Structure formats: C-alpha cells, structure tokens
Structure 1
C-alpha cells in the first residue's frame, strides 16, 4: 500500500472511532480504546468469529443506512 493510500486508510479508520463516539464514551482514554480493540481481536480469533462478524456487519450496515437516511431527509 502506498503512503498516501495508507494515510487515507488510517484517517478513515480513525473516523470510525469518532463516528462510534468512542472518544467521548471513554473520555479520550486511549488505553481503554486499545483494550476494547484487543477484546474485539480476541473474540475474532475465537470460535464465535463468524457470529461476531455477522452481528457487527449487520449492525454497522444498519447504522450507515440510518445515517444516510437522516442526511437525505
């Protein structure tokens, strides 16, 4: 991945952290946010990987769709 593409990718991922309000909900505690990500990664390495991915994907799509509908209203 080229530097510019990597930078854009990282900015987009950071935007998801903001969009999920993780900064506000954790009082911008990076150790807490990192710990949450490690918990997610642990779950994805486990037996419930497929179920977790399906659940989170549905939830994320619904949130994106709701946001899009709100913008179009």
Structure 2
C-alpha cells in the first residue's frame, strides 16, 4: 500500500511538471501531441549527446525552479 501511494504521488508530481511547463495549454490538452513530444525527448536521450542534452535540460529546470522560488519569496 505504501509503495502504491509513493508511485501515485510520483506520477502526480510528474503531471504537475507538465502543467507547470505550460505544455497542457500549449498543446490544447492534446494527449497524443504530448506523448509524441515525450517520445521525441526520449529519442534524444538515446543519442550520442544524451549526457550533454540532459545537462542542458537540468540546468534550465534548476534555473526555472530558482526563479520561481525567488518570485514567490519576493511576493511575501
């Protein structure tokens, strides 16, 4: 039961990231388009530059999280 809850929480958090990135609105909630995009990302991570690509994405994500935190702290 605990593992199931952890898995559900994990999936909800991943869905939240999709929403936070604006992908739901940008694709007009088109699940096929989102899935296609994820398949493209997965293919990129199977390529020769996978580590470089992942590092770029990680850096961009960290910057976005930091900017969000700063904006939240600035609002009080």
Query: TM (normalized to structure 1)?
Result: 0.97
Q: Which runs of 5+ in 2 are unaligned?
A: none
Alignment of 1:1-73 (within 5 A): 2-73=3-74
Q: Distance in 2 between matches of 1:39 and 1:51?
A: 16
Return the offset for 1:30: 0.4
**Number of paired residues?**
73
TM-score (norm 2): 0.94
Question: Looking at CA atoms only, which structure, 1 or 2, has the larger radius of gyration?
Answer: 2
Deviation of the 1:48 alpha carbon: 1.0
* Structure 1 segments of 4+ aligned residues over 4 angstroms from their partners: none
| 1:57 CA displacement | 0.3
For residue 42 of structure 1, report the CA deviation from its aligned partner: 0.2
Runs of 5+ in structure 1 lacking a partner? none
